[in-house]
Amino acid sequence: MLRQSIFALFVLLWSLPLWAGENDRVRPYPPQQVAKDIYVIHGPLGMPSVANQGFMNNPAFVVTNQGVVVIDPGSSLQAGRMVVDQIRKITPNPITHVLNTHVHGDHWLANHGIQESFPHAIIMGHPEMIAQARATQGEAWRKLIEQATQGFTKGTQIVLPTVEITESTDLSIDGIQFKIFAPPHAHSGTDIMFYLPHYQLLFTGDNVMNARLGRADDGDFAGNIAACEVALKLPVKVIVPGHGVTGGKEVITHYKGYLETLLSSVKRLYETDEFMEAHQMKPHVLKDLAPYAHWVDFHTVIGKHISLARSAVEAASFE
């Protein structure tokens, strides 16, 4: 009897770490090299869900001589742990810096997972991103993702950037220049794009997405178009979007085309009949946007996009 009890206890203790660790990190996604020293972990497209464990952005990292710079580590403690695991497969260098592109939590709540392994890593972000995340957005996004994943991301804590960066910041890390472009009114009003001249590469954040649409509640369509125009003027060869596959300048061109078509279609209809409501515009706008209808989440968000565009056009008519 004693022998059976000891054996049962041994089995319990042996299996406990496996059970406890089932949900401690997002399933692995392999990094893809997109330039010398630069890797992207392309997350699945879509909204946060049980299926994707809340992970759906494009964490990226730059391997420097002495360290690693991470851009947008993801949406949760569990995503951050996965990102750390993948980086360790590429280099033994420590993570020294984390750069956050904007306030939406699917991009930065994984700061917690980076800090857990590298407590001295310097986390940087736009001052408005920090202010909004501290006020309400951080907790709102933490709850949203935890609910969407039915508790998978539970335990994630809000770890904010401690260093503010703006367009005037001269940011050079271990000899690599990160030129900052921060259009004031684009995807979220807190956005930063990071241009690495040496690599002719641009991290756009959610100012650009590839074959995927997302929330636009905090954004400005005209301002987002202007941000795309800024990006197109840069001598870049590699575009890393906030969501979707890395590519060339065509990624920017396609996303800008969507924004321009949406806005011009709604404006035309509003000028024809200013009393036409968003739901009445929708069938007409959908015809104009047919080339983009296959994009992920198009049919989920298009109604809201039309409504937001109509509000923007109406507001502009009073200026």
Supply the Cα-derived Rg of the chain in whole angstroms.
Answer: 21
For residue range 198-234, list pLDDT tens digits in order.
999 999 999 999 999 999 999 999 999 999 999 999 9
Say which residue, 21 or 70, is predicted with more confidence.
70
Compute CA distances 47 → 50, 95, 191, 295, whole Å. Answer: 10, 28, 20, 13
Lowest mean pLDDT among 28-42, 115-129, 130-144, 267-281: 267-281
Rounded Cα distance between 276 and 309, Å, is: 13
Rounded Cα distance between 186 and 167, Å, is: 15
pTM over 0.85: yes
Number of domains in the chain: 1
Position 243 in a domain: yes
For residue range 80-103, list pLDDT tens digits in order.
999 999 999 999 999 999 999 999
Task: Tell me which residue has tokens 């969501």.
Answer: 243
Cβ-proximal residues to 210 (8 Å cutoff; 6+ apart), any chain: 241, 243, 244, 245, 246, 247, 251, 254, 255
Position 312 in a domain: no
Are 238 and 34 within 8 A, CB to CB? yes
Phi, psi dihedrals of residue 219, rounded to the nearest 5°: -105, -175
Position 308 in a domain: no
Cβ-proximal residues to 143 (8 Å cutoff; 6+ apart), any chain: none
pLDDT at 318: 86
Of all helices (H) and strands (E), which one includes residue 310? helix 298-317
The residues that bridge with 35 in the sheet, in sequence order, are: 38
Orientation angle between helical segments 278-288 and 298-317, nearest 10 degrees? 110
Rounded Cα distance between 104 and 233, Å, is: 26
Q: Map residue 134 onto helix, strand or coil.
A: helix
Token reading at 274: 């200013």
Position 294 in a domain: no
Rounded Cα distance between 292 and 275, Å, is: 27
Its domain, for residue 103, covers 20-249
pLDDT band at 319 (very low <50, low <70, confident <90, very high): confident
Residue type at 154 in one-letter notation: K
Rounded Cα distance between 317 and 172, Å, is: 43
Position 255 in a domain: no
For residue range 161-197, list pLDDT tens digits in order.
999 999 999 999 999 999 999 999 999 999 999 999 9
Cβ-proximal residues to 56 (8 Å cutoff; 6+ apart), any chain: 43, 44, 45, 46, 47, 48, 75, 106, 243
The predicted model gives 225-247 an average pLDDT of 98
Strands (E), the chain: 32-35, 38-40, 60-63, 68-71, 95-99, 122-125, 163-164, 171-173, 176-181, 193-196, 201-205, 238-241
Position 261 in a domain: no
Rounded Cα distance between 157 and 110, Å, is: 9
Compute CA distances 119 → 60, 111, 112, 115, 159, whole Å. Answer: 19, 10, 9, 4, 11
Position 316 in a domain: no
Answer whether residue 311 shows pLDDT above 60. Answer: yes
pLDDT at 1: 46
Residue type at 306 in one-letter notation: I
Answer whether residue 108 shows pLDDT above 70. Answer: yes
The residues that bridge with 98 in the sheet, in sequence order, are: 70, 123
CATH value at residue 98:
3.60.15.10
Position 228 in a domain: yes
